[in-house]
């Protein structure tokens, strides 16, 4: 089978070594004769998986004391609700920075359960930039941000200094760069970009800030319940947690977050440099706000589309079409994306430019 270069925005590429170990565990986990899909979540084998996954998160992100690390179900979209119920007071207000589709969805959920204050938005320019200046009121219960915007290809480079609890949806850039956990009241992230398969969501939450809203919270949405039970209040998503653990082991073995941040910058530079120097292509995000995870671009010559599409398909490239709402192209280059795959795309872009330069000369 020929090599496939997976630029999918998510579920996304996994490290090949991780995939092999995960596949083996489906047949026979820990030489138990049982599949990882069959074992009890109360068994000592899986409890060891959960404990190791939590310990790796704490180590790799340098999580300080006083924070719980949880692996839960429901996706980051359920995190929109958990944010409101666990941090917005009964008659309070949540502040939101609106930088793309997912932050907009978080806003809509907030409107259903409480009051909100949209402190700034980049929707006026189709979310192609990150607002730099916006007011943060101490009357708001928290500030919610989406650190990376998969659809529009922007990323918050400078995390805001907030006088109120800061909550971040990091679904598409968690573990891609160093962060200071103590700056946040809560971070949540769906696994299916940089951690593992869809099915579990990582929460890192400051324990002392829970239980302060005066709300009656449904049990499954109450983060105190899950923290008290070590993510085991109900049956956890066993396999996604196991694969996430394998990914974290891979990350640690290669040098951790500091290592992958440098690699990610090299990968991003490779493709952005080609976009900027190639007359056939144009980036869609403001240069200072470009994402290192999702590279969005368009063709400057529509006549070249058929040739470009044919070339990247023949090269084994997958998942590079832009989101259906915006069109164009999107190369998602998450942690597990090898530099070699990006070079394949860049070489095609160069070849296309040569073809059209000759045609126009």
Beta-carbon neighbour count of residue 218 at 10 Å? 10
Considering the candidates 102, 140, 250, 267, report the single residue annotated as catalytic. Answer: 102
DSSP states along 39-59: S-TTSHHHHHHHHHHHHHHHH
Decide if 136 contacts 119 (C-beta within 8 A).
yes
- Residue 168 pairs in a beta bridge with 145, 187
Look up residue 321 and give its DSSP letter.
B
End-to-end CA distance of the chain: 39
Structure tokens at 155: 């990323």
Rg for the chain (alpha carbons), in Å?
21
Report how far residue 59's alpha carbon sits from residue 256's, in angstroms, rounded to the nearest whole number.
9
Q: Is 231 left (phi over 0), alpha (psi -120 to 50) or beta?
A: left
Residue 153 has a CB neighbour count (10 Å cut-off) of 30
> Tokens 């189709």 — which residue?
126
Tell me which residue of 270, 266, 115 sits closest to 176, measured CA to CA. 266
Q: Considering 140, 173, 193, 222, which one is annotated as catalytic?
A: 193
Whether residue 299 contacts residue 326, with contact meaning beta carbons closer than 8 Å, is answered with no
289 catalytic residue (yes or no): no
The H or E element containing residue 97 is strand 93-98
Q: How far is Cα 150 from Cα 76, in angstroms, rounded to an integer?
A: 14
Alpha-carbon distance 319 to 42, whole Å?
Answer: 38
Q: State the Cα–Cα distance between residues 210 and 22, nearest whole angstrom.
A: 35
307 is catalytic: no
Q: Which of 169, 173, 222, 289 is catalytic?
A: 169
Catalytic (active site) residue 193 = yes
Q: Which of 238, 249, 272, 237 is nearest to 14 (CA)?
A: 249
The phi and psi torsions of 189 (rounded to 5 degrees) equal -160, 125
Question: What's the length of the chain?
Answer: 361
The residues annotated as belonging to the active site are 102, 169, 193
């Amino acid at each position: 089978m020929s090599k496939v270069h997976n630029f999918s925005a998510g579920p996304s590429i996994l490290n090949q070594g991780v995939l092999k170990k995960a596949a083996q565990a489906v047949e026979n986990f820990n030489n138990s004769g049982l599949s990882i899909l069959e074992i009890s979540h109360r068994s000592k084998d899986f409890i060891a998986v959960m404990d190791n996954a939590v310990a790796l998160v704490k180590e790799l992100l340098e999580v300080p004391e006083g924070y719980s690390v949880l692996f839960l179900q429901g996706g980051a979209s359920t995190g929109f609700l958990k944010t409101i119920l666990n941090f917005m007071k009964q008659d309070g207000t949540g502040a939101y920075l609106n930088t793309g589709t997912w932050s907009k969805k978080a806003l809509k959920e907030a409107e259903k359960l409480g009051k909100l204050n949209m402190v700034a938005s980049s929707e006026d320019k189709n979310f192609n930039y990150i607002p730099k200046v916006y007011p943060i009121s101490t009357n708001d219960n928290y500030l919610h941000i989406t650190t990376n915007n998969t659809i529009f290809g922007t990323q918050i480079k400078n995390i805001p200094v907030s006088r109120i609890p800061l909550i971040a949806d990091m679904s598409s850039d968690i573990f891609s760069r160093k962060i200071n956990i103590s700056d946040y009241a809560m971070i949540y992230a769906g696994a299916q970009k940089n951690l593992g398969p869809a099915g579990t969501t990582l929460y890192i939450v400051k324990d002392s800030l829970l239980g302060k809203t005066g709300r009656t919270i449904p049990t499954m949405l109450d983060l105190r319940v899950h923290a008290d039970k070590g993510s085991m209040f109900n049956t956890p998503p066993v396999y996604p947690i196991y694969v996430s653990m394998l990914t974290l082991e891979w990350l640690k073995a290669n040098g951790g977050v500091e290592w992958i941040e440098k690699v990610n910058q090299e990968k991003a530079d490779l493709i952005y440099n080609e976009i900027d120097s190639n007359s056939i292509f144009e980036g869609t995000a403001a240069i200072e706000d470009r994402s290192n995870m999702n590279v969005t671009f368009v063709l400057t010559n529509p006549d070249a589309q058929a040739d470009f599409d044919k070339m990247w398909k023949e090269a084994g490239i997958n998942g590079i079409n832009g989101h259906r709402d915006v069109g164009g192209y999107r190369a998602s280059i998450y942690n597990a994306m090898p530099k070699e795959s990006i070079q394949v795309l860049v070489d095609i872009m160069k070849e296309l430019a040569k073809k059209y330069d000759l045609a126009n000369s």
